Amino acid sequence: MILMRTFFSKCTPQALEYLDQHVQDWVLKEHAKILFANQSFGVIEGKGGQKDPNLFLNIYYEKEAQ
């Protein structure tokens, strides 16, 4: 069965480094075999009406047999 997971992050160097680590940890924890990934950019309106650019990452995967 093909599964999908979405990650998103603000577009700052620190936030993207955290996203990298978060995705790597998730792949190891879930034993995910990544089949396909895509990314897009958008704007999320935060508290106080502040609009921040964000990266959205969709990963399509299967769980590897252990």
What the block records as the tokens of 46 is 């935060």
Give the whole-number percent of the chain exceeding pLDDT 90.
Answer: 85
pTM: 0.86
Q: What is the CATH number of the domain that holds 32?
A: 3.30.1660
Average pLDDT, the chain: 94
pLDDT of residue 47: 84
How many domains are there within the chain? 1
Cβ partners under 8 Å of residue 25, min gap 6: none
Give the whole-number percent of the chain exceeding pLDDT 70.
Answer: 98
**Beta-bridge partners for 50:** none
